[in-house]
Chain A
Amino acid sequence: MAANRPTASRVSLTPLQWAVQIFGELLITLGCILILFVAWQLWWTNIAANSAQKDAVQSLAQEFDATPEADAVQETHQAQGAENAPSSETYDPLTPPITQAPAYGKVYGVVYIPRLGEGYARPLAEGVGTDVLDTLGLGRYPGTQLPGEYGNLALAGHRQTNGAVLDHIDELQTGDAIYVRTAQGYYTYRVYESTIVLPHQVEVIAPNPDAPHAPASEANRRLLTLTSCHPRYGDTERYIVHAEFVGWQPNQAGAPEEIANISL
Chain B
Amino acid sequence: MRLLRWPGAGAPDVAGQGPGVALVFGAGLIGQAVCAELVRATGAEDTALPYDWAESGARMRQGRAAIDQALAVAGPVREIAVLWAAGKSGFTSDATEMAEEAARHEEVLALARALQARAGPARITLHHVSSAGGLFEGCRAVGPDDAPKPLRPYGLGKLAQERGLPSLPRHRIYRATSVYGYAPGGRAGLVPTLISNALTGTPSHIEGALTTLRDYVLVDDVARFIAARMRAPGQGAAATYLLAQFRPASIFEIVRMIEQAVGRPLDLRVDHRPANARHISFLPAAAPAGWRATDLTVGIARVQARVRAHRIAGGARAA
Query: Are A and B a genuine interacting pair, yes or no?
Result: no
Q: Please report B residues at the A interface, Cβ cutoff 8 Å.
A: none
- Please list the residues of chain A having a beta carbon within 8 angstroms of any beta carbon in chain B: none
